[in-house]
Amino acid sequence: MTVRQGYDTHGTRRIESRIVIDAAPELVWTVTVGITDWPKWSPTVRAVQLLGGEPLTEGSRFRLRQPLQPSRLWQVTRLVPPVRAEWETSDTGPPFRAIHKVTPEADGTLSFLGLFAKRPRGILSPATALVLRTALAVENRALRRRCLAMSWNQPGAS
């Protein structure tokens, strides 16, 4: 697993986490976009309310409640099944864009989680950046655990 942070050329704060999961990309994608199930397996999510019903599509909106953060309204801005999902929020606090990417690898599936603060440098304090970096890493490890548990329970899985 790798976790990185930095700034892009426009001063946008970037926090990223990558992990390889020993599961099929289709399974990792299904778990990634199954947002209403996130509270069941991710300690970084307390509740998700999908507004408008399933399936998740571009334009879908959902309310996300996470530990130590206010509830936020997110909107799906890009959905490219089965490889990329993006959503944005700006209703409370700094505006963020989140990216989830699923990429087949020789030894499994790479899960990329990215969080981008859309304001200039300095919008996130070092303490806040540390909390967010830790949360992304925890979320990716939980995603791996969930996918492994699901792949072991599938017929024909060893």
Residue 157 in domain? no
CB 1 within 8 A of CB 111: no
Domain that holds residue 57: 2-152
- The reply to whether 111 falls in a domain is yes
Say how far apart CA 114 and CA 102 lie, in whole Å: 12
Number of residues written out for the chain: 158
Look at residue 158 and tell me if it is in a domain. Answer: no
| pLDDT computed for residue 24 by the predictor | 96
Predicted structure pTM score: 0.87
Tell me the per-residue pLDDT of 22-47, one tens digit each, with 9 for 90 and over: 999 999 999 999 999 999 999 999 99
* Amino acid identity for residue 90 in this structure: S
92 pLDDT more than 80: no
Residue 31 within any structural domain of the chain: yes
- Overall domain count for the chain: 1
Task: Specify the CATH number for the domain of residue 128.
Answer: 3.30.530.20
pLDDT over threshold 90, residue 132: no
At 42-89, the pLDDT tens digits run 999 999 999 988 889 999 999 999 988 889 999 999 999 999 999 999
From first CA to last CA, the distance across the chain in angstroms is 24
